[in-house]
Amino acid sequence: MKYTCMFLVVRLNGEAEDITPIDECFTNCAIRLDSSYLSDEDIFKFYESCAGYSKAELEELNTINKCRDRGHIYKEGEAKDLTCDLSQYSIHIEEREIDF
């Protein structure tokens, strides 16, 4: 019997760093990215795509400095809303077929 499993996979430079099993793309989950691997543009891109902020809003909120001070980006949400490609990180929903 074969079963298809879904995962939210965070890859750093092509290597899996975090794998979260999900039931569907609407499953709530959380990711944490190390800010030392992110450029300023990556941080803007992440928050624009995953949180819907504009670059001007992010600059006004001083997002870059806050992210650097914390040392990470932490975001919770539906798996489908967390997916993106950054310079060193890749966050995608992946399916694997498992044979039982």
Which pTM does this prediction carry?
Answer: 0.87
Residue-wise pLDDT tens digits, 9-64: 999 999 999 999 999 999 999 999 999 999 999 998 998 887 778 888 888 888 88
Domain count across the chain: 1
Q: How far is CA 94 from CA 21, 53, 57, 79, in A?
A: 10, 26, 32, 11
Q: Domain of residue 52: give its range.
A: 2-99
Q: What is the DSSP letter of 58?
A: H
